[in-house]
Amino acid sequence: MKKIFLIRHAKSSWDEPWLRDHDRPLAQRGLKAAPIMGKRLLKKEIFPDLIISSTAERAKETAILVAKELGTNNQKIVLESSLYHAPPSTYLKVIRQQPESIQTLFLVGHNPGMTDLIQNLGVDLDNLPTAGICGFTCLANTWKEFSKENSQLIFIDYPKKST
């Protein structure tokens, strides 16, 4: 059964306000939160076949820190420029283009597109917090069929949520 985990990048730093938005790294809070969320995935025994991340620095750092906690090789991380501040339609396009050999997919991206996608998939969620994860099972046989009708929520988790 195919599973997808939507991961919002961890908290970004505003210490260098002259940096382009795309180049902002993680803040100290983000550097702590991403590994915490990776450990929670490890505890649930959730391991990615592929991690697709926005090219933004904060998203890349989040992907690397989560992968490290899972013992996942960084070669499983693919950077996708279209995910930078993407609307839900772009996330769906990326999901639906994945090869059928991928069973567990992680997407690391940004709000508001990520929260909008989660809402479009039928989940009542005001906002996916930074470093938050929302997991779905794809009830269809192919990624091409991934949709609201063919998905089921597994869980929503975020750093400040009690475990």
Per-residue pLDDT of the chain (163 residues; tens, 9 = 90+): 899 999 999 999 988 888 999 999 999 999 999 999 999 999 999 999 999 999 999 999 999 999 999 999 889 999 999 999 999 999 999 999 999 999 999 999 999 999 999 999 999 999 999 999 999 999 998 999 999 999 999 999 999 886 5
pLDDT at 124: 96
Domain 2-157 has CATH 3.40.50.1240: yes
Give domain limits for the chain: 2-157
Count of all residues that appear for the chain in the document: 163
pTM: predicted TM-score of the whole model, two decimal places: 0.96
Amino acid at 57: E
58 appears as a binding residue in the annotation: yes
Q: Which of 66, 68, 120 is nearest to 92 (CA)?
A: 120
pLDDT at 139: 93
Alpha-carbon Rg for the chain, nearest whole angstrom, is 15
Q: What distance in Å separates the CA atoms of residue 18 and residue 62, rounded to the nearest whole number?
A: 22
pLDDT at 163: 59
pLDDT at 18: 87
Q: What is the 3-state secondary structure (H, E, C) of 53-104?
A: EECCHHHHHHHHHHHHHHCCCHHHEEEEHHHCCCCHHHHHHHHHCCCCCCCE
* Beta-sheet strand order (sheet of 151-157): 77-80, 50-54, 104-109, 2-8, 133-138, 151-157
